[in-house]
Structure 1
Amino acid sequence: MYLPPHFSEHDRAALHALVEAHPLGALVTQGPEGLDANHIPFLIMPGKDGAPDRLEAHLARANPALAAIGDGAEVLVIFRAEQAYVSPSWYPSKHEAHRQVPTWNYRVVHAHGRAVLRDDERFLRPLLARLTKVHEASLAQPWKMADAEKSYLDARMKEIVGLEIVLTRLEGKSKLSQNKERRDIEGAAQGLAEHGAPALGAAMLAAAPKG
């Protein structure tokens, strides 16, 4: 990923927070037929006592990506947060010097690591319980694995394989117009808010230089 210093995000907590808020990752693998991508919800698991961070997920047993992953394959997972087109017309300076061009702002995290397939219930069942707890938490009546008949759940579990990715590199890019004047950032943020992307505008204001 092209990563100019002023767009680079190094804060580990911020990187983890983006993954947690936008957990549907694009898992990129290299197989016999070339590059492939699968879109999968992940959990990010912080490493403890110096251990590397991990990503955990599961794949359908019928997914051809299992053959490409094997045991120890290098993979890339891409997580994307807010993104939108930014018009130069939103910059106050454009109307003075007409020296601005369109751009696209976004926040992404690239997670690099080695994938391990975990085809055992001791890994899968706790993983499914954590995924369920996270994504059902906002509902008035959260669904629980215990709500399903055991025989039905056991059959569904046989159709999936666990995936653990031990991360070797976690890099983030927050392209939020940090290379612009404060007034231009504020103008673009207002334009985004008026055109359906207020969250991106808020992120730009939060990353803007003070004053």
Structure 2
Amino acid sequence: MDSNPLDSLLDLEEQFYNEGYALGAADGAAAGYTEGSVFAVEKGFEKFVEMGRLYGKALVWAQRLELKPSESPSVQAHSTRDTLSLDPAICKDMPSLPPHSTRLARNLQTLLELVDPATLDMSNEEEAVNDVDERLKGAATKAKLIQRAMGEREDTSSQVEPKDMSTPGDGSGSIEDISSLSIRH
């Protein structure tokens, strides 16, 4: 006996589900890769901007430590690396540093070594990413120690301010944003 023509209708839901699942998985994989790549670039940029900021601060601190009151502003004072130099006139108008301390100099040297861009591995490998994360964390700690030793105030410009947790969502209208939903009881 021939099969009933309506039997194919019974399998229609399962067929559409499998077809939709396959399309969704393919689209999700492509979108996930794109979103992951963008996220990686953003996070990498944030980390290296912070490294650069700390490196700049370390260079200025090093210059201020090397600057003696008897030096002329036209003399070039070199930092720990011979290829970089700052004109001492830039640091001349800055507040004087506390008396020279070997601990302060050692912390500053360690900070310069941690944030030196010539020694940072910028490859996209797990080991390199972990190294940059560890160096950034150590450099931030050293910078805080140096700031306290110099009597400077804490720099909060680079720290992310916490979001106000009193209202859910950010109002952007994205699918994850629930701020526009009203509560039904």
Tell whether the structures are fold-level matches, with TM greater than 0.5.
no
TM-score normalised according to structure 2 size:
0.24
Larger helix share, 1 or 2: 2
Larger strand share, 1 or 2: 1
